[in-house]
Amino acid sequence: MASVELQNISKVFGGLRVIDNLNLTVPDGSFTALLGPSGCGKSALLRMIAGLEQISEGRALIGGVDITNEEPARRKVAMVFQSYALYPHLTVEENVCFSLSLAGMPKAAQKERAAGVAKMLQLESLMARRPAQLSGGQRQRVAIGRALARNPEVFLFDEPLSNLDAMLRVQMRLELTKLHKDLKTTMIYVTHDQVEAMTLADQIVVLEKGKIQQVGSPWQLYNQPANRFVASFIGSLGMNFLPARATPSGQGATVALGDSTRIDLPLRMTAAQPVELGIRPEHLHLVAAGTGDIAGKALLVEYLGNTSYAYIESAFGQVIVEADGSESLETGPPWG
Amino acid sequence: MTAISNPSARRINHAAGALTALNVLVAIFWAFPIYWVLVTTLKPEQDIVRPGIDLWPDRLTFDAYTYVLFNTQIGQWYLNSLVTAGSVTFAVVLMSAAAGYAISLLEFPGRKLLWWLILASFMVPIPALIVNHFVLMSQIKLLNTWAGVILPQLLAPVTVMIYKQFFDSVPKEFREAAVMDGATQMQLLFRLYLPMNWGITTALAIITFIGAWNQFLWPFLAVTTQDKMNVTVGITQVTDAFGVKYARDLASAVLAGLPVALVYLIFQRRVTQAIMLTVGIQG
Ligand SMILES: Nc1ncnc2c1ncn2[C@@H]1O[C@H](COP(=O)(O)OP(=O)(O)OP(=O)(O)O)[C@@H](O)[C@H]1O
Ligand SMILES: [Mg+2]
């Protein structure tokens, strides 16, 4: 087990700075998710930790040891690839044992290690099969097993669940959580799916354009987003941003939305200024016309079973409101 | 099938029938010389030179075969062919796999240049080099040796190209996974890339072997003593002071071709695959 520390890391491809002067500490035993939109540099960052990509600038430490220029195999990290990359000519057992066999471990010891891994991941009945004879979920488990067999100090996952269907993804998510509970090994997990990040991780790193936007627990990211990007990226439909005006008052500030609505917030400011007020759809309610704070007309209602989303055209622009799924909503009538 | 006859379907059936008949005809035309060779080897010499066409021997005899087998050095020639063709195959496959791997996957200065050289050498027909090969082999005193027969046959740019193309096509995640598992370059080649698709290697080995076994011009030039001859060259020695003996000549030709025919029959599918691979490069 080991912590991972990245100090002023950059990655340059050609002239393009894909990762820009990034600092990050992944504590020992943490399950950290790297979250961000496509192309933001998540994979590049992970591959630098793995050693598959040269670190252009900066230092990387694993367990306090500088591994910036170390061979991938000697970093004590194991990686699970999005495509699994199981060796097609080897059986499941041989796949799991491949690294051990390369390292010259005796056959009997290899078998023993493989048996332990198989037990942990319920692979026993599959050991003699080849990857082509496995389902997607089984391949995924073998890929994890292959990483496990090496007894790494850090696990790296690059979007490991993205090739699975929705049901299987939920199930594998639970298995990964359980695995982390059992092993308590540091895990770094790349995903562009915020649900995966929120459910699996104890620490989430939100990346955009090669820069860290925020590092925090799922709770912090949802409730205390550091900036507009994080606020709109986290949450099922993002956030509504409404133009407002803030004035200092007492300890905090008062935000005025339109003429009548006043909200007191614990903000520190010196002078009055225009601001944007971010409100999540799930924190707004629909009320009868004329009784609410924001008046508007519903343009569109998305019905999702347990809940619905109403897209409301208001004086402040389009506002999304989450409504109880039991109400039958119609587009057209004005809402308060 | 519906009961209503469809005129256009019937026309297609007629056309298909005619095509099949044509195929059979061409096949007979193609196979007849082979049949004629086999029949001739089973006739006594006097019956062969008799006027008229005998499609089946009046008197069946294996004299021609026993003569070739017991009165020539064909055993030695077989051995020479086996050793030289086997060595050529082994060396060509090994070197091509290594070269293809290096050009496809390793970063080193001069890689592009090396690749262009290999492509360029593919443009030069081997017979154009044969005088140089002869002079070179005689200078290093390798005429009339196995090594002399083998060495010039190790030029195999096409095999390198096929390997390179294959290695190029393997997704890079396999390599990265193996690198993380601690594989060295040698282990990557011999434990990942080659085993991943033995089909390519067996196909290339078979086609190289058949090519080397059937080589005539170079083994003919490089060897002058009977006991170092390949079977293809040796059979030209089965002549007789008293004129042409058709049965013996053809029997030796049949014996020379037999191993290749057997290899082909056993590995038919692989050979076809190999031909497709090489055509892919040359086409
Ligand atoms: N080998 C490379 N050469 C040049 N540019 C590259 C290379 N690999 C990645 N990039 C660029 O680096 C940027 C970040 O890529 P990266 O693969 O890290 O994105 P990502 O966050 O993993 O995206 P995704 O969610 O789509 O996988 C992209 O703009 C990509 O085009
Ligand atoms: Mg990626």
- pLDDT tens profile A67-111: 999 999 999 999 999 999 999 999 999 999 999 999 999 999 999
Residue A41 near ligand 1, beta carbon < 6 Å: yes
Length of chain B: 283
pLDDT at residue A331, as a whole number = 42
Positions of chain B with pLDDT lower than 70, given as ranges = 1-9, 240-243, 280-283
In order of their start, the domains of chain A are 4-233 (3.40.50.300), 240-335 (no CATH)
B240 close contact with A: CB closer than 8 A: no
pLDDT at residue B235, as a whole number = 86
A78 close contact with B: CB closer than 8 A: yes
The B residues from 178 to 237 touching A (CB cutoff 8 Å) are: 178-183, 187, 191-192, 195-198
- Give the H or E element holding residue A237: none
Distance A98 CA to ligand 2 centre (A): 25
Lowest-confidence range among A40-44, A202-206, B47-51, B248-252? B47-51
Residue A160, classed as helix, strand or coil, is coil
pLDDT at residue B281, as a whole number = 60
pLDDT at residue A279, as a whole number = 85
Contacts (Cβ under 8 Å, ≥6 apart) of A272: A245, A246, A247, A248
A134-160 mean pLDDT? 93
For residue range B221-249, list pLDDT tens digits in order.
999 998 999 999 988 887 765 567 888 88
Nearest alpha carbon to residue B161 among B113, B96, B205: B96
Q: Decide if A86 contacts A163 (C-beta within 8 A).
A: no
Percent of chain A at pLDDT exceeding 70: 95
pLDDT at residue B23, as a whole number = 94
Q: Decide if B194 contacts B96 (C-beta within 8 A).
A: no
pLDDT at residue A290, as a whole number = 65
A161-178 mean pLDDT? 90
pLDDT at residue B177, as a whole number = 95
Lowest-confidence range among A81-85, A161-165, A267-271? A267-271
Residue A333, pLDDT > 80, answer: no
CA distance B132 to A227: 75
Residue A62, pLDDT > 80, answer: yes
CA distance A90 to A114: 14
ipTM of the complex: 0.84
**Radius of gyration over alpha carbons of chain B, in Å?**
25
The B residues from 115 to 174 touching A (CB cutoff 8 Å) are: 171, 173-174
CA distance B94 to B205: 10
CA distance A125 to A109: 20
- Are A87 and B182 in contact (CB < 8 Å)? no
In order of their start, the domains of chain B are 2-63 (no CATH), 73-282 (1.10.3720.10)
pLDDT at residue B72, as a whole number = 86
For residue range A233-265, list pLDDT tens digits in order.
888 777 888 888 888 877 778 888 777 777 777
Give chain B positions within 8 Å (CB) of A52.
Answer: 176, 179-180
For residue range B39-64, list pLDDT tens digits in order.
988 988 888 877 877 788 888 888 88
The pair of structure tokens assigned to A126 is 């599959």
- Give the H or E element holding residue B166: helix B157-169
pLDDT at residue A330, as a whole number = 44
Helix axes B63-71, B246-266, angle to 10 degrees: 80
The residue among B51 and A216 whose pLDDT is bigger is A216
* DSSP conformational letter for A132: G
pLDDT at residue A336, as a whole number = 38
pLDDT at residue B1, as a whole number = 44
Q: Of the residues A12, A18, A193, which should be mutated to test ligand 1's pocket, given the most ligand atoms within 8 Å of the CB?
A: A18
Lowest-confidence range among A4-13, A174-183, A187-196, B12-21? B12-21
Residue A326, pLDDT > 60, answer: no
Q: Decide if A136 contacts A124 (C-beta within 8 A).
A: no
- b/e per residue A101-135 (b: at least 16 CB within 10 A): bbeeeeeeebeebbeebbebbebeebbeebbeebe
Q: Which atom of ligand 1 is nearest to the CA of A37?
A: 25
Q: Quickly state the pLDDT bin for A287 (edges 50, 70, 90).
A: confident
CA distance B167 to B183: 16
